[in-house]
Structure 1
Amino acid sequence: MASTWNVLQGDVFTPSGEKLLEIAHVWKTGKKKKTAVLCIIVGASLPVQLFLVKVRRADRGEQYKRTDKWPLKDLKLVDGKQANQETPEFDLRFDKIYRWTASSSDEKNTLLRCLWKLNRRHLSGRIAFVNVPLESVEGYQRLQEERKADSEFTVPEEETEYQEMTPKESADMLKLMEEYEPLVSNSVAFVERLSRDLQLLDEANLQSVISSEQQVAQLVGFIDEALEEVADVEETLQIYEKLLGTMKQQMDHIQRRNSFLQLIDTNQEKLMNEILFLVDKLNLSTKHYEALSSGDLSTPKKVKACSAAVGALTSCMNVQIQPAYRKLQAVAEQLIKFETLRQNFENGFVSHIVNIFEQQGRGHVSWVMRPERKLIVPSHGDRHRDLLLFVPLMTWLKNTNPALFQDLPKVYTRNLSKLYERQIRLFFERARMLLERPKESSHEGLDKLANSPANDPSPPRRSSLADSVDGEGEESDRGNMGKILERILRELEPLYTAEQTFITKFFLPNQDGHQEILDPNEVNLASLAASRHTRTTPQLDESIIQMLKEIFASLESELKNFIGACQRVHQFSFLQILVTLNDYSSDARATPSTSSSAFFVSVLSQILYQARSTFGNRVASLCKEIEDAKVSGKMRLGVLPFISRFEEFVTVSEDAFKSTKRREDLDRAHGKLIGLVFKSIDKLSSTNLKINADMVKMENFHHIHCFLSQMKIQILEDRRKEAKKRYSEHLDRYVIKYLGQPLEKLNCFFDGVKTRLAQGVKEEEVSFQLAYSKQELRKVIEKYPGKEVKRSLEVLYKKIIKHLSPEENLLPVPSPALYHLNLETKWTC
């Protein structure tokens, strides 16, 4: 125990300045025996703070560590479990109950005795002890007194309870001591001095009390005199009150009559004001009443009159009046009259608008086919101008009857979609006629198309539209397709913009209920299209987008059908279509983004996505064709077939993309195709064993090099250099392997000379060897007379003719190489 005590005091509590008072080895009751040490300690700070700490030995090593700490002031109950029988179990209740079992009853009693003493000395007995025998806490055992001094259970002097003097009390005490410092030595004289001072103070107090009694008697006399005077005043006031009693009654009667008169005047004034208010606010002029009763909307002037009338009617019906006024017969009749008038005009107006929508939907479109054969979309400016006159009435209807207003966009969409469907169908039929007509007439029509004025005031997006159509054949056809498609887009964009602007103005008027009535002479398609530069909103309303989708439901399909027709006319038309859509889309996005063109841009993006998909599919198809290319073993290879397809694609695409800067897709396609071409040349030239592979590669790489040199494509410049390099390599291999030894014996002689030189024989000594002497050289030369040389050259020529393909005309190419090779051999020898 002493060893544990010393370790805990030295290692655990001394570093923090705490003092250990008592310990006990315990474990939790009813659980696996896991020993801990309960310690009672005194904190380092003042005033005295007592704690109960649980310490446990670390899992490894001899070190102890704290696991729990409770202030003793929070301890509420100590339960010894059994008062008449020794047991090591006990309970301590803080906020919760902790049940412990000590290693022995003595350790338990020692711990409880310490707690009891600290409770009486420092905690004023606030801890309750139950089931604890009195002898275990009150008796002092000799053995414990011998082992431990009283200091172990006694807090040091500076820690005991005492009441310290305040600074003011200390200062007064010091002052008193200083004043009587000479008398401190003689305490008897000092006490006598204090007694005399106290006696003097008592005498002064007695005199003060006596003098105050005389003053009180004098004050009572003054009060009695004042009461007598008050009684006289009251008698005088009673006399005056009796004299004025009659006059007071008369004045009260006059005041009551005056107040009644003022109340009557006030009520009459308020009543008159209310009557004037009701008459003024609930009165609808005869002019407005007649305009609403007739419901005539046939002319712009009458429409303006009805717009002003519904404004006045709305003001009358929205007057804020008290609920009691509505029970008045005149007010109730007037409100019923207004409501009936509103419903009648509302029904008439809705019927009139619906009739206009139906008439416009049934409108004739034969005038779309202009006699001058120009590709122009009909203008809807007149239709929009007529309907925009009803914007104030639409605003009024939206505010008064939203349910009825919500049906009008559906009616408009249903009828106008039919009109636009017919117009767009005829417009694209005209475009397909220009696309499929003979070249001469097509050029004439396109000249008119390019020079015809557009409906929108904006300048053309691309200057190529106004250029004359040059060239003939397929290139001219592809150019015509691009011009027609661009003209279509230029015609459709203002159509979209004008319709979208009109729908926004007509079906989404200002929320303040007021809309300026436009002059019919100033409203046209151009002004509606130009309004996108002056009116901007963050984004389109979902209802507007849905209406536009339903109205122009056929436009996207017609555009796709037209693009399909272009592809049927020419297989590479998708390139010109992609270029046109890319350029137009870029110009549209470069324009400051406004809500009036957002929907058309979205439709254009869908068509552009389809065009890019078509381009990707065509490139993938061409790649597959190059990868899967096969040739018959009996045919002479020459230039491989897929190279011609590659050259055709590159030529057409470069012609189509020459006027645009957006070449990313084309450059990627070129890089992918040229890589597959190189791989397929190597693959196909090695599959046919009957054909000279070097000659096939030399011809094809020579062809590709010449083609790329002619096209001058920057992205394929490295491939052009690679083709030239590989063409030169295969040419050298062919010449060395097949054409390098036309005179066999002569070549054998020189090969032997080379061998001797390689073995270290000097050049001047080679001729002294018998096999390589000049006489032997003459003999070899004599074996090849002129006829033999001529025959060898003819055989060599026929071999070159056999290996080369006639379409490439590469016969002069191997001859210089053979000449240089023979020359090099002779000079070496």
Structure 2
Amino acid sequence: MAKSSADDAELRRACETAMEGSRQKVVLSIRVAKSRGIWGKSAKIGKGQMAKPRVLAITTKEKAQQTKAFLNVLKYSNGGVLEPAKLYKLKHLSKVEVLTNDPSGCTFMLGFDNLRSQSVAPPQWTMRNIDDRNRLLLFILNLCKDVLGHLPKVVGVDVVEMALWAKENTPVVSKKRSVQDGPGPAADVIAESDMKVTVEKELVSQAEEEDMEALLGVYVMGIGEAEAFSERLKRELHALEAANVHAILESEPLVDEVLQGLEAATIAVDDMDEWLGIFNIKLRHMREDIESIETRNNQLEMQSVNNKALIEELDKLLERLRIPSEYAACLTGGSFDEARMLQNIEACEWLTGALNGLEPPNLDPSFANIRARGQLKRPDHADLRFKCRTYARLLQHLKSLDKNCLGPLRKAYCSSLNLLLRREAREFANELRASTKASRNPTVWLEGSGGSNQNVNNADTSTVSDAYAKMLTIFIPLLVDESSFFSHFMCFGVSALAPPGSPANGDKSNDDDLGIMDIDDNDTNTKNISELEALNESLRDLLDGIQEDFYAVVDWAYKIDPLRCISMHGITEKYISGQKADAAGYVRLLLDALEGRITAQFTRIGVMFATLDKIAQTDPKYADIILLENYAAFQNSLYDLANVVPTLAKFYHQASESYEQACTRHISMIIYYQFERLFQFARRIEDLMYTITPEEIPFQLGLSKMDLRKVVKSSLSGVDKHIGAMYKKLQKNLTSEELLPSLWDKCKKEFLDKYDSFAQLVAKIYPSETIPSITEMRDILASM
């Protein structure tokens, strides 16, 4: 047998030097390799499996007529000098496990019951051979039994095998301390540094050994016939398994019959559930159709009555507006000759009188605000573009002959068309706002001055965002077309992604087709940076100032209902993603500016969250309920847009976090209301575990086993009634019924987590006491 490092005197002296000043005496030192399992939280794949050289030193310390034993872990510093790394008290050694995943059997773990983090895998120690492993483990077990009075649990190794090894490796002791040499009981069992194998007492007593020999004698076998003994046990095991299989096979027809019946019943229930679901959907659709038809009929009937009355009133007004044919001919096509002047004056006098008759008080005051409105349409520039076609080829030749002459022409074109576009946009925006009927949604609650019982008018303001969408639908394509036409007409060498039907796509039926060919030899797909800069500058002159009319619509919509900013943001985002042409560069800037304006307006409602908190605090008893319902409603209304609009996503996540916090507070309050004594008891135990050992807690005032039984009886007797009361209390104050299932699931999960922690504390502090298991509690909750 190779010499063990336990016999290395220099190693022992190095250990004593490393622990100098600790008053500990080294009784055994041995070299090991340390590694850690991959299931530990702190372990990393690859790194956690690397073996590191360590030295384990068993030491003792005499204190107050008592011997204490320690396990020291020493590591090598950069200079190769041993230094202390870990210190364990052997009195806390609860488990010695030899790992089965190491075929050599040389790897084991030592488990201590006082480690703070039990989720971290304990270190694994690997010895050079089985002899070193048995030598160290036997020494530790002997020390625990003789000095500490108890043995840890041994897993993965046969104690009989270790006892036999101990007999075969008779201890060689050159000098042993007598009882008189030491003050404590360790003096009888601890050898000096020159002992070869430390086996002072057998792990198996004489009586136990005789019993085992008698048991083995029944089979008329010795320890040396282990293989025959193992074969016999295997045969008996196979016989038992065959008998079990035969019994199972005999009952198989009955099991199959029951399973077939259950499967048929399950299929029938599933079919019935599917049919009921289909009928329910059809009935719901039929009910919705009936309601829709009734509503439509009522609206048509009302519309018919209103139209009839309106036609009668309009006929009366038209009688006043009908101009006699002679006056109409004089006013529209007459001459100013002296002979016709009397007729002209007479016609003007009639027209003046007719107009005066249409003004209050001559006209019924109810007609004073009536205005005739036409349908808002996109401005038509077809005639203007058709006239430009006359000059298109001339401009192409001017560019090839003298490029400098195009600058003044471009500025003149931009200046003139800018005035036209701004006037059209201003008139369209004014008419759009005037024709949109939307009642102003009060925003007092947004300013934080409203109370919790204030009536808020939930007016439908969707027409406001519809008006903004119409403004973009009409003018954004118009501005893109004008930009593309200007780029092509004024001979900019920039390729534009023109819309379908434009000349760039080969559709010659469009009015924008200039009927010309590109004279430049340059590739039209090659972007000229200088041309692009000149184009952008000209587009700024062409469209600058028109953004004010879009701003006016945004500000108008915000004043009516600040929350309309959400839908306007989504509308703008859709148009931004659709503008990619170089010729529409300024249109993208316009949309970006609009998005910034809307975002700035929307950010001003950020006070909403603070206001919700303030409103909730007016009724502290129901504050969390008010908060979670409001935040849930906010998330539901914002979910679809928040997926595509980053600005809204920030507010959505903020509301989601506040919702979860309010849910947690409310659920904890409900749980503690029903089980306050139970979890208060657990909290007192947790607080004491920071200062005293678990064994001392049952002797503290109010934490005895009798106190535990009283608490368990008062809290868990009839626990289903307490849980039912918890559900009723959750349901009682909740306005939004659709939130109840998710809140109840959260409540059950939170209760199970708290009860699981309580059960673990009871198992650790009061191991002899019995309380309902976590499985039983989970089943009770599932049945509620």
Alignment TM-score, normalising by the size of structure 2:
0.33
Higher Rg of the two aligned structures: 1
More helix by share: 1
Alignment TM-score, normalising by the size of structure 1:
0.31
